[in-house]
Chain A
């Protein structure tokens, strides 16, 4: 189940929260939505979940149109939402929380019971099924909120910063679970601040700052930034510390060579072409190479560059 938007816009009075968003999320894809606070990520999710209306533009989920009142219930039936605030019923047990939502999504009793057991077990909460949700830790609550969003087995899952405020271990469990869901070919729309998480989990990434700045795979985005720079870096690991002879040989190729223990960082205009000369220079000078890598821009570099450009 895919998502298509065309010029999707939402205004709150004079404030434009989302401005002309045009994007496409493919069926079975994990799409990461990155952006600073107030970029419009949550507003986008709320529009796509038919929780708030759009001001203008078009959006479709599968065959259904966002903004058509007769489609709203059908869309909500197809999707699952993990909101930024987990919003559990703290006075109900984990089981009762899921049972309530299963009933609202019209899951038959047998399917409901099976799904509750399956998801609570997968998330390590089955033993705690009769414990009040209010007594759970943040990580457990987040896991329960994810199980709640999956109780009716939606094809499309919206997750609004699912690992925010979690300790590293809980965050890892949640990330691993998202990767499991990815294997099941569910479409996942993931709002996140966490660049590392986006890089590890997402097939494609969109960077939003009220307007959509760019989309692409993490690798495409990194390459796009790297190709725009006048110089790039080659990192060489030697088996020993670089000698003066090695450094002198390299400085004939590049004006900027930085030694750091047995690691050498060399700025080059075109590493793909010039690395052969680098290797030859080191070998001739008696150096022994362990590895040579081209250091590209990280997703963090891409994100910061694009968001800063947009803000300025």
Chain B
């Protein structure tokens, strides 16, 4: 067990933690504000990745412009989904939103195979090169991606804590009736939150698509990770999503390297279960009746 190995595992854990955290905060926002289950969060992530792929690799437009455009386009897509499909379910049991988002998974991923083909693709890297810390490798690409994730997470936290619209979102999340009595337009907050959450997911998709590869079925893997983290961290809590991301990221990194990947998965789920037993609303979460 050399220092180099420990440092490598730690760096990997941090990077993964931040990326997973980015995938998760979009979901926690949607959960917290609207109390719906957006099972198709991963499909949005996939769409964001494919958008960037076409923008950058096929049409050869600038990478970062594409990154932003992907977020914008998916923002409206998410908002549209909310207005069209989720709004009629407002106030009803969460089972219905689960059903609708499950149906979305079916539709979007199959449409993805038909539209994009089954060939696995990759978004080309925007930067190459790496540095070495205590013998462990850290590529610029991973550094930038981890950095962007951190920035976005902090930005979201800032938005929620310090801006008016963030305050409105938190108000709606905590008590929808009172906030509408206070004059907040709940409906608008809903589609904005959904759009924002989807945009974050799309950005996560762009980054992961660059880091790894893209294939129409990639969505569900992201969904699993996002749910694991959000529930462990607590719904509606951004710090919770970050902490959850790190927990899962470190488990993935350390256990896979030191033991086996199987064990890492089992321990991951057992950890979540144990946390929920002791803290039924997640680490930082709001109670949900």
A binds B: no
Give residues in B with beta carbon < 8 Å to A: none
